[in-house]
Amino acid sequence: MVKHEDVRAEAKKLLESGKVKYIIAYELGSDGWKANPVFIKKPEDVDKIIWGPTCVHNLVRFLVDEKRRKALQKNPDTRPVGVMVKGCDSRAIVILLQEKFINRKDVHIIGVSCETTGVIDERKLAKKLKGWIAKTIEFGSDENFLITTDSGAVTLPASEIMADRCLECIANFPIVFDVLLGEKTKRTVCHPFGSVEKIETLTSADRWKFWSEQLEKCVRCYGCRSVCPMCYCDECVADTITFAVSPDTTAEEKAQKIKWLDKSPVISENIFYHMVRAIHLAGRCIDCGECERACPVNIPLRMLNKKLEKEAKLLFGYDVGFDPEKPALISCFRDEDPEDFIR
Amino acid sequence: MKKRTGIFICHCGINIAGTVDVKSVAAEMAKEPGVAHSVDYVYMCSDPGQNMIEQAIKDKKLDSVVVACCSPNLHETTFRNAAKRAGINSFKCEIANIREQCSWVHKDKGKATHKAAHLTKSALKKVQKNESLEPISVPVTRKALVIGGGISGIQSALDLAGAGYKVILVERSPSIGGHMSQLSETFPTLDCSQCILTPKMVEVSKHPNIKLMTYSEVQEVTGYVGNFKVKILKKPTYVDPAKCNLCDECTKVCPIVVPNEFDVGLTGRRAIYIPFPQAIPASYTLDDKNCPDPFTTIACGKCADVCKVKAINFDMKPEIIEEDVGAIIVATGFDLYDKEHMAEYGYGKYADVLDGLQFERLCSASGPTQGKILRPSDHKEPKEVVFIQCSGSRDPELHCAYCSKICCMYTAKHAMLYKHHVHDGQAYVFYIDVRSGGKGYEEFVQRAVEEDGVIYLRGKVSKIFEENGKIKVWGVDTLSGKSIEIDADMVVLAQAMRPSQGAQELAKKLKLAMDKDGFLAEAHPKLRPVESVTSGMFLAGAAQAPKDIPEAVAQASGAASKAIGILSQDRLYHSPTVAKVLKNLCTGCGMCVAVCPYDAIAFKDGKVEVNEVLCEGCGTCSATCLRAAIQVKNLTQNQVQEMILACLGG
Amino acid sequence: MTEEFEPKIVAFLCKWCSSAGSDLAGVSRMEYPANVIPIQVMCSGSVSPLYIFEAFNRGADGVLVSGCHPGDCHYIKGNMYARRKLLLVKKLLEHLGLEPERFQMSWVSAAEGQKYTQVIKELVKELKPLGPQTKLRREGNG
């Protein structure tokens, strides 16, 4: 099992050798028990680094910001950036490599095993603890979490508090890495695409009822877009809020701006935005779950993207985020692709 | 500047006006923003109709026009030319099809009129955002490259040279002629193959417009139609063709013997050799793959010692020659499917089981047996010969699914030739069908049956094997329902025709598409059989599909004429409605590069750029791009959005 | 008496096959309902998923995309990409609960005027009982 010390030792080695600019890792947050992302620049700071079941964040998003930062610098530091990734997060890097958004040499991947359990869903945990606040959480062996609170220690079966996406995990071990910490473990509670199957069993009318109720809540905060590593477009085609008109903006660029949908958070426009996002993430979303975690109104966004991940596999035999050389889902086809839906 | 579009609604007599209320559509369109003129007329494509449009453009200072009329396939060019004559860019004219797709298919006048208005509004929205465009032109290098020196390549080269164009003919073996030079006689005339081929070969060697490069291979092709850059590797022959006098003294002293490719392994040749006496260029070649032999690693030099004219030069080096050409014809030919794949027929191990080309060499007067049909194993005359058609063809489970087209004919020929050589021999042909569709072909096959007593048995051969010096053939005659056992002295397999060895690698270098069987893919199976999908590259001969000599020659001439179509122009013109990249939005993800059917998009400086000459404007890239960073001129996503709105609104 | 509901349908027809097939239906004077307004695109592969969403957002009751048969695409394989992309769109729309009949694809060649007529007739017939498309429609549209 990977301990904090293991990660710290590796980080210290990297920073002391000067091999990396800085390392994107996890530290203990101000509440004392949950992880937060942290940028470690100096070897002395590595003791901040932690590794545990609260490390839910997909740190790969920060690589997108790093690229933007570098583009603005006159003489950028060209050393790679270190980043801690779980299995799911590493698939995000695979996608960014597929799309040549980052170069392999610009990132030093520290792959970490999330053991038999995956990470927790803090809301589920809060419900389980009935008001008690967790003080420490650790990975247990045998698919459980070891938790201490002020009222004592408790061992909870992972299936009860693990993140929804971990229950459907198809890659619980890093796919790409420069260094690997921990071992690949077996997770028995997985049921890939289980959440999607639940929706598929509903009738068409019930499905509409479900989604219209959920998407009506959307306030178009674009939190989902901001945390997604794959939403790295400078200009979002669906709805731009970044289009900065400057004296340099050409008339052509202004004329090309298409207004597909309205900005108002009414149901029809919300659905449009989320449909565009889902279709643009087809073959690219690797289910890190950040969009759903970031959503302030608890829309089950994963179930939208997951459906297309399932169809990619089922209809086209396409595995998302495993092979950096693979062409994008919509950039290839097989002769045997289904066409029974075509008249 | 405010838009000023002119709307012209055509009655087309009563074809449109009988169903669509054209006047009300014109009136409705007059109210649309940006419309400065809106009229209807009985026959817009007529001279007065066109004049009306031209006059209105001038009088009302229109910057664009919409003509609502018949299908654009009919008169788009007519009206675009009218617009051009009146002084506006031809691409500022759009057609709304309110006839074939409206008045001719709907009976309800109200609904048809309503739809016609929507269609016209849609065209209006499109034309108002059209850019002014001019056809793209590029210069043309007036030279052609023909890859492959068999009968197809030779024919193409002669046609091009005869038309006055310079041609480079590249052939990888030491002589041109291809498989046709190995044949004894050709069906259905039983013409001597070499006799009809060698005059063409000599013509190639003498033609001032043809630069013949044998023992050479194409290494790299870059560029695009009209402007290809080719790198050709000229392998060293170590013999100076200007000096070699074909005395043949060198082969007498060469110690190295290797299988003779020309005789398909039935004989050996020396390391220094001439493939066949009439080879063009008329010169010997020293094969440096086999000389020096692996043990000594130094050339023995005996051939140079006996060469009286000092033609042999061991210091020759490979050269890379760079050429610019405007069009390329690929004529790389075929090879026979190797007998080693035929498990039921002995894996090619039996000496007396031959393939078609080997049997040709036996028939040939200049072949290994001077034209006598003799068993390779013991040089005895075979009295019973079994010919097996469809060996490896028409077999989707184990070998090739397709029919190799020529086997029925050459098997009949082989059976006849056998009988002409061995009067008391008996020939059996096992067949599934007999396909003899060409001129004189059917009569030819009947000759084999009626005059030469060839026995045709309809059935497949399940197994052949050697026993006591004979080849046992187990087959079936489905017409009588009996199983057949023949103790043959020789078996000839009509092996399937496959694309030539190395054709796949060459196709990759040229970025030419291949079909599912490895043959070069034509642009359209019916209507464009000699063009490849790549503009400026053409296909000829068996490289494209199994075919016989007359078809190969016809196709070669067809490919040459297509190439001449390119080379004869001063400049090449190309539709300007091509893709363009909006660099501020492009992230260089390459999804568009992967989907482009013409390889027209390339990476550049972390983004992509479009080769406007290769781009055909299909728009697949635009629909693939997640960021709308690549758009097709005059059919941008912006324009389509406006058209959707026009179709649905009001 | 209420008027019978007439679905509004946008059809994206590829220029070389389906639009030509539609022209042939016209030349042959075949008859079909006027509910479909065609937009000619160069290739079915150039139909972006956003076109489908936009059409529904703006009040279309049905959307049809029609292209060349596999192997016949004028641009070689654009229809193969359309086949993949638009199946994903179809699955997404159905996942949301949109009636599957509303978005359809067809292969219509330049010789298939009869087939085009059939496709339109069947499409209109299937959409009439479903009534107006209100799920994805923006208010004030359709």
Pairing state of beta strands A152-157 and A144-149? antiparallel
CA B600 to chain CA centroid, nearest Å: 20
CA distance linking residue C15 with residue B383, whole number of Å: 64
pLDDT confidence tier of residue C141, bands split at 50, 70 and 90: low
Structure tokens at B84: 């051009």
CA distance linking residue A148 with residue A52, whole number of Å: 14
**Which of C83, C88, C118, C139 to probe by mutation at the A interface, max A CB count within 10 Å?**
C88
Residues in chain C within 8 Å Cβ distance of A308: 88, 91-92
> Average pLDDT of B303-323?
95
Residues in chain B within 8 Å Cβ distance of A327: 591, 594
| B632 near C CB under 8 A | yes
Q: Which residue among A252, A256, A330 sits closest to B591, beta carbon to beta carbon?
A: A330
So what's the pLDDT on residue B649? 86
> Average pLDDT of A157-170?
91
| B97 near C CB under 8 A | yes
Residue with tokens 């490979």: B318
By 3-state DSSP, what share of chain B in percent is helix, strand and coil, each rounded to 5?
A: 30, 25, 45
> Average pLDDT of B111-127?
97
| A320 near C CB under 8 A | no
**3-class secondary-structure state, position A162:** strand
So what's the pLDDT on residue B580? 95
Q: What is the pLDDT of residues A83-105, one digit of tens each?
A: 999 999 999 999 999 999 999 99
Q: Which of B102, B122, B120, B121 is nearest to B112 (CA)?
A: B102
So what's the pLDDT on residue C55? 97
Structure tokens at C65: 């995309």
pLDDT confidence tier of residue B650, bands split at 50, 70 and 90: low
Percent of chain C at pLDDT exceeding 70: 97
Please list the alpha-helical segments (H only) found in C39-112: 49-57, 78-96
Contact (CB<8Å) C34/B649 = no
Report CA Rg, chain C.
Answer: 15
CA distance linking residue B158 with residue B205, whole number of Å: 10
Structure tokens at B41: 């007329």
Distances (CA, A) of B49 to A118, B24, B62, B303, C14: 75, 19, 16, 83, 29
Alpha carbon dihedral B338, B503, B359, B363, in 10-degree steps, equals -170
Question: Are the CB atoms for C72 and C14 separated by under 8 Å?
Answer: no
Question: Are the CB atoms for A145 and A117 separated by under 8 Å?
Answer: yes
CA distance linking residue B522 with residue B512, whole number of Å: 9
**3-class secondary-structure state, position A58:** coil
CA distance linking residue A33 with residue A133, whole number of Å: 9
In terms of phi and psi (left: phi > 0; alpha: psi -120 to 50; beta: otherwise), the region of C38 is beta
Instruction: Please give the model's pTM, rounded to 2 decimal places.
Output: 0.80
Residues in chain C within 8 Å Cβ distance of B596: none
Chain A nearest CA to B598, separation (Å): 14
So what's the pLDDT on residue A239? 77
| A210 near C CB under 8 A | yes
Is residue C142 predicted with pLDDT exceeding 60?
no
Chain A nearest CA to B77, separation (Å): 28
What one-letter code names the amino acid at B89? N
CA distance linking residue B382 with residue B343, whole number of Å: 24
Q: What is the pLDDT of residues B129-149, one digit of tens each?
A: 999 999 999 899 999 999 999
Q: Which of C138, C12, C56, C46 is nearest to B637 (CA)?
A: C46
Greater pLDDT, B393 or A133: B393
Report CA Rg, chain A.
Answer: 21
DSSP bridge partners of B239: B312
Is residue B553 predicted with pLDDT exceeding 60?
yes
Question: Are the CB atoms for B148 and B171 separated by under 8 Å?
Answer: yes
- For B516, residues 6+ apart whose C-beta sits below 8 A from its C-beta are none
Question: Are the CB atoms for A275 and C96 separated by under 8 Å?
Answer: yes
The distance in angstroms from the start CA to the end CA of chain B is: 27
So what's the pLDDT on residue A256? 72
> Average pLDDT of B506-515?
86
CA distance linking residue B365 with residue C3, whole number of Å: 89
CB atoms within 10 A of CB B453: 13
Is residue B24 predicted with pLDDT exceeding 80?
yes
pLDDT confidence tier of residue A244, bands split at 50, 70 and 90: low
CA distance linking residue C104 with residue B245, whole number of Å: 74
| A318 near C CB under 8 A | no
> Average pLDDT of A97-115?
95
pLDDT confidence tier of residue B204, bands split at 50, 70 and 90: very high
Distances (CA, A) of A156 to A79, A129, B288, B516: 42, 10, 75, 57
Greater pLDDT, B330 or A183: B330
Q: What is the pLDDT of residues A187-197, one digit of tens each?
A: 887 889 999 99
> Average pLDDT of B327-348?
96
> Average pLDDT of B542-549?
97
What one-letter code names the amino acid at B224? Y
Structure tokens at A268: 């029809």
Residues in chain C within 8 Å Cβ distance of B645: 58
Pairing state of beta strands B334-336 and B497-499? antiparallel
Question: Are the CB atoms for B623 and B631 separated by under 8 Å?
Answer: no
| A266 near C CB under 8 A | yes
CB atoms within 10 A of CB B27: 14
> Average pLDDT of B542-561?
97
Is residue A243 predicted with pLDDT exceeding 70?
no
Residues in chain B within 8 Å Cβ distance of A101: 587-589
So what's the pLDDT on residue B292? 82
Q: B64: part of which helix (H) or strand (E)?
A: strand B64-69
Average pLDDT taken over every residue of chain B: 95
Looking at chain A, which subunits does it touch, using at least 3 CB pairs closer than 8 Å as the criterion? B, C
Chain C nearest CA to A41, separation (Å): 43
So what's the pLDDT on residue B44? 96
Give the CA angle between residues B189, B192, B193 to the nearest 5°.
100
So what's the pLDDT on residue B36? 96
Please list the alpha-helical segments (H only) found in C9-61: 18-27, 49-57
Average pLDDT taken over every residue of chain A: 92
Report CA Rg, chain B.
Answer: 33
> Average pLDDT of A299-316?
96
Distances (CA, A) of C72 to B133, B370, B512, B525, C111: 29, 51, 18, 9, 12
pLDDT confidence tier of residue A250, bands split at 50, 70 and 90: confident
Measured N-to-C along each axis, helices C49-57 and C78-96 cross at an angle, to the nearest 10 degrees, of 40
User: What part of C 4-63 touches B (C-beta under 8 Å)?
Assistant: 6, 8, 10, 19-20, 22-27, 29-34, 37-43, 45-51, 54-55, 58-60
Structure tokens at B548: 């016989």
pLDDT confidence tier of residue C2, bands split at 50, 70 and 90: low
Structure tokens at B412: 């009949």
Residues in chain C within 8 Å Cβ distance of A206: 97
Distances (CA, A) of B631 to A198, A330, B639: 39, 17, 10
Alpha carbon dihedral B57, B59, B63, B69, in 10-degree steps, equals -30
Measured N-to-C along each axis, helices C78-96 and A267-280 cross at an angle, to the nearest 10 degrees, of 140
Q: What is the pLDDT of residues B264-302, one digit of tens each?
A: 999 999 999 999 999 999 999 999 999 887 777 778 899
Question: Are the CB atoms for A338 and C87 separated by under 8 Å?
Answer: yes
Is residue B504 predicted with pLDDT exceeding 80?
yes
CA distance linking residue A46 with residue C43, whole number of Å: 56
So what's the pLDDT on residue B1? 66
CB atoms within 10 A of CB A122: 18
pLDDT confidence tier of residue B608, bands split at 50, 70 and 90: very high
Question: Are the CB atoms for B206 and B184 separated by under 8 Å?
Answer: no
**Which of C43, C84, C134, C136 to probe by mutation at the A interface, max A CB count within 10 Å?**
C84
Nearest residue of chain A to residue B606 (CA atoms): A100
Nearest residue of chain B to residue C52 (CA atoms): B644
Structure tokens at B586: 């492009």
Contact (CB<8Å) B619/C50 = no
User: What part of B 542-601 touches A (C-beta under 8 Å)?
Assistant: 582, 584-585, 587-591, 594-595
Percent of chain A at pLDDT exceeding 70: 98
